[in-house]
Amino acid sequence: MKDFLMIIRTEGSVWSDLSQDKLQQHLEHGGVYIGQLVQDGKLKAANPVDKGSRLISESNGTMKDVPFNETKEVVAGFFVIQAEDIDAAVAIAKANPIFQDIPTKIEVHPLMAVGG
């Protein structure tokens, strides 16, 4: 099994823009999905991302906060999962019910194993 990072991208303030009914529906769908990943032993971590992110850059030995590129798209959350290969990880991403509830893109990245 390999580890994969899934980055959930949406538009706007997803958690505050949804109606109470839609948010409740999304939480129920997500709970079932996450529960199944846990049961299958495929979920290592998952969290929504809150407002207030910062981007740090280094140039010529100077560290500074820099603005994010102007876009409506935001990172809404992430999952770290285990899957046999990238195709299996993509299948897990495609099964995420967020696609039913919110306009979404999911990036799937294989994580490199490091010793130590």
Handedness of CA 39, 9, 114, 54 (dihedral sign): negative
108, pLDDT greater than 70: yes
**Residues 9-43 pLDDT 10s:** 988 776 777 888 988 998 899 999 999 999 999 99
pLDDT surpasses 70 at 49: yes
41: left (phi over 0), alpha (psi -120 to 50) or beta: left
Q: Per-residue pLDDT for 116 more than 70?
A: no
pLDDT reading at 70 higher than 70: no
Indicate whether 85 pLDDT > 90.
Answer: yes
Q: What pLDDT is stored for residue 56 in this prediction? A: 87
